[in-house]
A and B are shown apart, each in its own frame.
Chain A
Amino acid sequence: MPRVTADRERCLGAGQCAYSAPDVFDQDDDGLVTVLDPAPPRHRLASLRQAADLCPSGAVRLEEAAETP
């Protein structure tokens, strides 16, 4: 199952992740990233890759093949 993390110290609030994968990422009242689902289903991979690729500050990290706990 993929794993996602987001670094709120690096985040600059562009919103690329919430636009790419709205069921996994959101922006809080400060406009900064929050992760709604840290272990999203594999069929979300395309949108997760886009979120990680387009994040302009490198705040969003995707581990594609994380072990299921």
Chain B
Amino acid sequence: MPTAPPGSPSLLAFPQPRTCPHQPPPGYDALRGQGPLAKVALYDGRDVWLVTGYAEARALLSDPRLSSDRTRPGFPVLAPRFRASVARKLPLIAQDPPVHDVHRRLLNPEFSLKHVRAMRPQVQEIVDRFIDRMLEKGPPSDLVADFAVPVTSLVVSRLLGVPVEDQSFFQDATSRLMRATEAGPSQQAGGELAAYLDRLVTRLRTEPGDGVLGRLASQEVEEGRLPHDELVQIALVLLVAGHETTASMIALGTIALLEHPERLAELRADPDVLPGVVEELLRLLAVTDLAGSRVAVEDIAIAGHTIRAGDGVLVSGTLANRDPDVHADPDVFDPKRAGRSHLTFGYGIHQCLGQNLARLELELAFRSLFTRIPTLRLTVPAAELPVRGTDTGTIQSADHLPVTW
């Protein structure tokens, strides 16, 4: 297993390479049993804390002595693309209170449980549309390109108020932004998205339509409470965060369900188990891998260690979700676990804004896929699917998922 670059000979390197898109990296076995916090080495040779205990992760993610501000010196940089300025000045994700809270409160209305549940018929219609197309075209199909990505991108577009005709542009630009292994191409793709959203926000200020961006452009920006450029940046974050992660969950969750035919049979027999299945898939797959990246602004004593001001702190959702103190047999796929005790949506003030929408999309996607295409199966073993390299960061995903039926 890879260890650290020169300078930190004894520490495990982070991120660790994957061998299978829907399993944790094999190197994580060495981190288990090291206690709730361990030191790991980043590609640039820097040592940072990796938090793997569930209780310690929650305590730290709600601790105001840790900052999310990626422009602070000492903020951990996981891969070259995160050095791009487009990845460092993100509203919501990379800002602390009070600015974070102002932006979050602007967005909360449309992301509430009630509002999202009212979108159920629209989401179902979008899910059905792409299953119709797969069935019309016939097998084989790429479940990522033909279903997961277009469904999640159309849903987030509908919520935000991004025109349907611009889908293919921003799917392509998002893909380039997230998969770049260097800062340059990532910055280029981010710049194209920002330029597009700048024009869109300008138009929405006078022609708002019925999405979140239209409401914010025509009210908050027009009335001078929110700068135009801040809304453009917020839109960029929502668009990117809103579909890549959920699309990855659809693809990887499909693999996990197909590899557990007994769980799939239970799901077909009783649709009421679906929310538990989705929650268990979220716990095990934790597609972003990290539940948070922070830098300490004061010393913090925790679990017998002292995190010093200026230290980088990474919270491993993958390992915290498999903390044996919280979940018995943590590697077992068991939809009957109660409690939604996982950090896949993070914790603390930065917990995922779109979690209610993600749950709805996942429920409708899995239910519809496996009832409408009951013989759905992979054409290659999951372990042979390509994995993303550690030079893109930690997000786990299947970029292609060949299926037949």
Residues of A whose CB lies within 8 Å of any CB of B are 12-16, 18-20, 26-27, 29-32, 50, 53-54, 56-58
Contact = CB atoms under 8 A, between A and B. Distances in A.
B346 A56 contact: yes
B105 to A, nearest CB: 7
A15 to B, nearest CB: 4
A51 B206 CA distance: 41
Contacts of A56: 62, 346-349, 351
B112 A31 contact: yes
Interface in B345-369: 345-349, 351-353, 355-356
With most chain A CB atoms within 10 A of its CB, the pick from B113, B114, B356 is B113
Given A50-B339, A50-B340, A13 B348 contact: no
Contacts, number: 66
B28 interface: no
Contacts of A31: 105, 107-112, 115
Binding site secondary structure of chain B: helix
Interface string B186-229: 00000000000000000000000000000000000000000000
A15 B107 CA distance: 13
B101 A27 contact: no
Nearest to B62: A58
Contacts of B108: 12-13, 27, 30-32
Interface residues of B, number: 26
21 contacts: A12-B101, A12-B104, A12-B105, A12-B351, A14-B352, A14-B355, A15-B355, A15-B356, A18-B112, A18-B114, A27-B112, A29-B109, A30-B108, A30-B109, A31-B109, A31-B111, A50-B339, A53-B339, A56-B347, A56-B349, A57-B348
A15 B340 contact: no
Contact of B112 (A13, A50, A57, A58): A13
Interface in B109-136: 109-115
B326 to A, nearest CB: 11
A27 B348 contact: no
Given A13-B104, A13-B105, A15-B355, 6 more contacts: A12-B351, A18-B112, A20-B340, A27-B108, A31-B107, A50-B339
A56 B350 CA distance: 8
Contacts of B352: 14
Contacts of B104: 12-13
B164 to A, nearest CB: 26
Contacts of B107: 31
Given A13-B108, A14-B355, A30-B108, A57 B349 contact: yes
Contacts of B113: 15, 18-19, 27
Nearest to A49: B339
Interface string B84-112: 00000000000000000100110111111
B176 to A, nearest CB: 31
A42 B115 CA distance: 29
Contacts of A13: 104-105, 108, 111-112, 353
Contacts of B356: 15, 19
A32 B109 CA distance: 8
Nearest to A29: B109
Nearest to A19: B113
A18 B346 CA distance: 18
With most chain A CB atoms within 10 A of its CB, the pick from B108, B111, B347, B356 is B108
